[in-house]
Structure 1
Amino acid sequence: MEKRLGVVSIIVERSVAPVDDVNDLLTQFGDEIIGRLGLPHPARGVNVITVVVDTSVERVSALTGKLGKLPGVQVRSLMSRTAPGAPLATPPDD
């Protein structure tokens, strides 16, 4: 499986979502997580979590699928088009 860089954005409704379950899932994928930033937004009653990953599309799908099944959790992901270290496309000569 080809690894790619990606970002997973998670919005957690604190009054509804099982926050411990969210953290447990992120821990299960810990070897593939480069960094994580969690910000509380008390005025809206949510936590916003951004996770940077270096993993396969299949593994990100597994993570987002499990997170998306939790009540009060919204999740989206974005993956790079190329694997890390792969040459980037160069613009054509004019």
Structure 2
Amino acid sequence: MKKRIGSVAVVVEKREKVSDRINKILSEHADCIIGRMGIPSAEHGLSMISLIVEGTSDQIGAMTGQLGNLPGVNLKSALTSVQVP
């Protein structure tokens, strides 16, 4: 299966309850994360994480599935049609 480039937007409510689990999942899938940016929003009581990813659909799906199952975590992912070797 070919690797594809994409992005994942993660919005976290009540960061203090899930931040350890989020970081563990991201560390386990570090091989498909090209870039990561985290932005806290005290005004809204949220944290946002933006990921640029490169991997197979299965790899990225495994990561987003684990993240999406955490309480208070909402995400959207988009994979481009660009394939990389």
TM-score, L = length of structure 2: 0.92
SS of structure 1 residue aligned to 2:63: helix
Q: For residues 37 and 15 of structure 1, do their structure 2 counterparts lie closer, same or farther at Cα, with a shift above 3 Å needed?
A: closer
| Per-residue deviation, 1:84 | 2.7
Aligned pairs for 1:42-57 (under 5 A) are: 42-57=42-57
Name the count of aligned residue pairs.
Answer: 85
More helix by share: 2
Q: Distance in 2 between matches of 1:39 and 1:60?
A: 22
**Partner residue, 1:67:** 67
- Listed as ranges, the gaps of 5+ residues in structure 1 are 86-94
| Per-residue deviation, 1:16 | 6.9
Q: Percent identity?
A: 35
Q: Which has the larger radius of gyration?
A: 1
| Structure 2 residue identity aligned to 1:57 | S
- Higher relative contact order structure (alpha carbons within 8 Å, sequence separation ≥ 6): 2
Structure 1 runs (4+) deviating above 3 angstroms are none
SS of structure 1 residue aligned to 2:27: helix
TM-score, L = length of structure 1: 0.84
**Partner residue, 2:37:** 37
RMSD of aligned residue pairs (Cα, Å): 1.5
